[in-house]
Amino acid sequence: MTTARSVAKNTFFVAFSNIAAKIIAFIIAIYLARYLGVEDFGKYNFIITYLLLFGFIAGFGLDSVVIRDISKKPDEAGRIMSNASVIRILTSLTAIILAIITIHALKYPADTIFYIQLISAILLVQGLSYLFESLFQAKMKMEYAALSIIFPKIIFVIALYWIIRSNLGLKEILLAYLFSEFTRTIISFLYSKRILKYRLHIDRVTFKDLFRKSLPFVIGYGLLILYNRFDILMLSIMKGDLAVGYYAAAYKLTESVLFIPGALAATLMPVMARQFDINKEKLEYMYNLGVKYILMLILPISFGGVILGNEIIYMIYKEEFANSVMVFKILTFTIIFNSLISIQTVLLVAANKQQLNNISVSACAIINIILNLILIPQYSYVGAGIATLVSVVCLYIFGFYFIHRNLMIQPFRIDLFKYIVASIGMGLVIINVNMHLISQIITGAIVYALLVLMLKGFDREDMDMIKNLKGK
């Protein structure tokens, strides 16, 4: 029960920080889209996505290694963080140089090149933030991560409000974003010093060990980013910023929901890493528990997104983004599979089977690129949405197969039918009620919760976990 309490406590902080951050990011996306318009909103998203494509070089797969190694060897945490910090600085500087060289080689417009050069340092500041937050995750101190995530978002909102009031442009928005991420780095660094004493130092053995262990992750993360974000780059090259704007508007909405499985997966990772060497049965239990809660929460969101897609886009982005409706409905289905993939990924990492995840991501990245090459020229941003959905489903199927075959874990030891029935019932109700969108959402949530309780999809064990959280 101690483990359950620890997981519940840290899940709360992860969920709280991610909910707050996603709400703020959601507000930012709405105001940026409305203020910049479709084309400049597309340019903004391309710039951020382009730099993210080089994030795998900056990150170098180090975060997962740090979490796993510190969880298993807490006495060596100082030496691990010292060497990991040096590696992160070196890899981030390499990523910045490559990003600038590549954008010049692609012969993008001068303003796009200027913007990327202007904020390329974000690869370094974000990379360091993620490393410090990996320490919080390994030490189960996610309350520190919560503060370091939320406060910079608030700074960005304040800066964005001033920029819009002053009628400034994209350059000032990007600089404000860079500054907010810099404050996140400072805050997370100061908190990391409160729980661990370390300094920049190279220990040859530890440095080589971290470097060697990170190699499978850097390949996997590189492929994962390529798989997740290459569509934006291809849309930009083939169709321009306008198509990116329509696609990004829909993608931002579906992506914002993924904080729910992400929070749970982040908390479960160190627990799964410990249980893999101690208790395989408990490892399987934790995995299936995560799957259960994800499906309980995500299925109604996906059903509701498909049914209310038109109303959602029109209320949030207005008529200018009407072309985003179809791609939004397509991408809504990816929420279910991406949520399950997050749990699959941490399970494979905890079991030191990340190479299997790399194989899956490699295959799906190729599938995604081929589908985008085929579909984008003819169907533009809708084609990109279809390619994303197909590749996400394939990635889930591959993960399901590898977990069953290599870890001998039986997935889906839950009654999925209950949540599907409850979601369908919810959908039938909101289709047949003539109310404002917010009222429809509230009504749907109440109906779904009642149906889940009636079908006993939320049992006594779930209630006990909530009581443990309150008691903490």
pLDDT tens, residue by residue, 310-352: 999 998 888 899 999 999 999 999 999 998 888 888 888 777 7
What mean pLDDT, rounded, does the chain reach? 85
Task: Assess if residue 451 is contained within a domain.
Answer: no
Task: Assess if residue 92 is contained within a domain.
Answer: yes
Task: Assess if residue 392 is contained within a domain.
Answer: yes
More confident residue, 409 or 424: 424
Task: Assess if residue 76 is contained within a domain.
Answer: yes
Q: What is the pLDDT, as a whole number, of residue 469?
A: 42
Is 463 a residue whose pLDDT tops 90?
Answer: no
Task: Assess if residue 230 is contained within a domain.
Answer: yes
pLDDT, average across residues 128-143: 82
pLDDT digits (tens, 9 = 90+) for 192-224: 888 888 888 888 888 888 888 888 777 767 777
Q: Convert the chain into a string of H (helix), E (strand) and C (coil).
A: CHHHHHHHHHHHHHHHHHHHHHHHHHHHHHHHHHHHHHHHHHHHHHHHHHHHHCHHHHHCCHHHHHHHHHHHCHHHHHHHHHHHHHHHHHHHHHHHHHHHHHHHHCCCCHHHHHHHHHHCCHHHHHHHHHHHHHHHHHCCCHHHHHHHHHHHHHHHHHHHHHHHHCCCCHHHHHHHHHHHHHHHHHHHHHHHHHHCCCCCCCCHHHHHHHHHHHHHHHHHHHHHHHHHHHHHHHHHHHHCHHHHHHHHHHHHHHHHCCHHHHHHHHHHHHHHHHHHHHCHHHHHHHHHHHHHHHHHHHHHHHHHHHHCHHHHHHHHHCHHHCCHHHHHHHHHHHHHHHHHHHHHHHHHHHCCCHHHHHHHHHHHHHHHHHHHHHHHHHHHHHHHHHHHHHHHHHHHHHHHHHHHHHCCCCCCCCCHHHHHHHHHHHHHHHHCCCCCHHHHHHHHHHHHHHHHHHCCCCCHHHHHHHHHHHHC
Q: What is the pLDDT, as a whole number, of residue 308?
A: 92
Share of the chain above pLDDT 90, in %: 39
The parent domain of residue 101 ranges over 2-415+457-471
Task: Assess if residue 446 is contained within a domain.
Answer: no
pLDDT, average across residues 409-429: 80
Is 5 a residue whose pLDDT tops 70?
Answer: no
Task: Assess if residue 424 is contained within a domain.
Answer: no
pLDDT digits (tens, 9 = 90+) for 162-200: 999 999 999 999 999 999 999 999 999 988 888 888 888
Q: What is the pLDDT, as a whole number, of residue 472?
A: 42
pLDDT digits (tens, 9 = 90+) for 291-313: 888 888 899 999 999 999 999 99
Is 255 a residue whose pLDDT tops 90?
Answer: no
Q: What is the pLDDT, as a whole number, of residue 215?
A: 81
Task: Assess if residue 427 is contained within a domain.
Answer: no
Is 275 a residue whose pLDDT tops 90?
Answer: no
Q: What is the pLDDT, as a whole number, of residue 470?
A: 43
pLDDT digits (tens, 9 = 90+) for 227-249: 778 889 899 999 999 999 999 99
Task: Give residue 464's pLDDT band: very low, low, confident or very high (50, 70, 90).
Answer: low
How many structural domains compose the chain? 1
Task: Give residue 1's pLDDT band: very low, low, confident or very high (50, 70, 90).
Answer: very low
Q: What is the pLDDT, as a whole number, of residue 467?
A: 52
pLDDT, average across residues 141-148: 76
Is 108 a residue whose pLDDT tops 60?
Answer: yes
Q: What is the pLDDT, as a whole number, of residue 171?
A: 94
Are the C-beta atoms of 17 and 184 separated by less than 8 Å? no
Task: Give residue 7's pLDDT band: very low, low, confident or very high (50, 70, 90).
Answer: low
